[in-house]
Amino acid sequence: MKKETFGTLLALCTAIISGFAIPVNKIFVTGLDPSVFTATRALIIGVMFMFLSFWQRRKKKMLGIFGTRFEKFPKIPWKYLIAIGVIGGGFAFLMYFTGLKFTTAGRGAFLHKTLPVYATVFAAFFLKEKVSKKQFYALVGMLLGTALIYITKIPPSVLWADPTLGDLLIIGATILWALENTMARKVMVEGESNFIVSAARMFIGALVLFSAVVLLGQIDALLALNGQQVVNLLISTTILFGYVLTWYWAIRYINLSKASTLLLLAPVISLVLGVAWLGEPAPYLQLIGSAIILIGAYFVVKIKSEFVTGV
């Protein structure tokens, strides 16, 4: 299978997992402190990816016995991996969950969906990714479709006429995630493993998050988890592991601008699952928005990942 096809399929899987996670988390994470919840998930997933990284390294070392040169670990300076973990795995999450305390969940979810805009700008500027007119128009159309999905919950006049501190924090967090994704794509283009990048992002991020939990005196919330909450936490952690695995694997092979745009399929998945699983309504504006997103995604899938230099 070609790398472009494989990376595109992985990005589509990420969008499906993301869309699936929203209705699932409505059921499983109710009553859990978001900071403790996020820090614990990040730590578990970070450890899992560390084991995967060491397993991959050990496998290459065994192959080296038969003549394959063993690669150094990691391939790029640690400062880049630390930056990815601190920015994307730590500060961005702290800003996002702090922002949610000062705004609504609906506004927060919509603002987070603007990530492809920042990711595309960063990818074009810093990574020199080629963004064609077709891709640009598809992104604009998919953003319009996303706005139509959320417009039944958040009238535009309410969202933009009275921005809150929470909205600004969530926008800031989304920009940080886009920046971190750009850095991750950069180090993987230079040959670093997606497992190592994922491990750094989650494990180092978990250390930042747990530091905040301890400083804010919220560690008791972790110790007070009951059996059902632990099970729910593990279910959510499994879903997030799938998201991180497919996402960083995807942007190893295809352009960040393309992959991030495909993430806009997530609200469509959530809408379908909400209607089928939770019995939620599907207003016609949401259906129109979903159709626009699907059309845009059809064109984005066909776009080949290229750099402006032709690489």
pLDDT digits (tens, 9 = 90+) for 38-91: 899 999 999 999 999 888 776 665 555 444 444 555 677 889 999 999 999 999
On whether the CB atoms of residues 95 and 88 are closer than 8 A, the answer is no
Q: What is the pLDDT of residue 243?
A: 96
Q: What is the pLDDT of residue 228?
A: 83
Q: What is the pLDDT of residue 167?
A: 87
Q: What is the pLDDT of residue 66?
A: 41
Q: What is the pLDDT of residue 68?
A: 44
Q: What is the pLDDT of residue 221?
A: 78
Q: What is the pLDDT of residue 297?
A: 97
Q: Which residue ranges of the chain lie beneath pLDDT 70? A: 25-32, 58-74, 153-163, 309-311
Q: What is the pLDDT of residue 303?
A: 96
What is the CB neighbour count within 10 angstroms for residue 21? Answer: 21
Domain boundaries, the chain: 3-301
Q: What is the pLDDT of residue 268?
A: 94
Q: In terms of C-beta distances under 8 Å and separation of at least 24 residues, what long-range contacts does 46-49 make, across chains too?
A: 46/89, 46/199, 46/201, 46/202, 46/203, 46/204, 46/205, 46/206, 47/203, 48/241, 49/195, 49/196, 49/198, 49/199, 49/202, 49/203, 49/244
Q: What is the pLDDT of residue 231?
A: 87
Buried b (16+ CB within 10 A) or exposed e, 191-208: ebbbbbbbbbbbbbbbbb
Q: How many Å separate Cα 126 from the centre of its chain?
A: 19
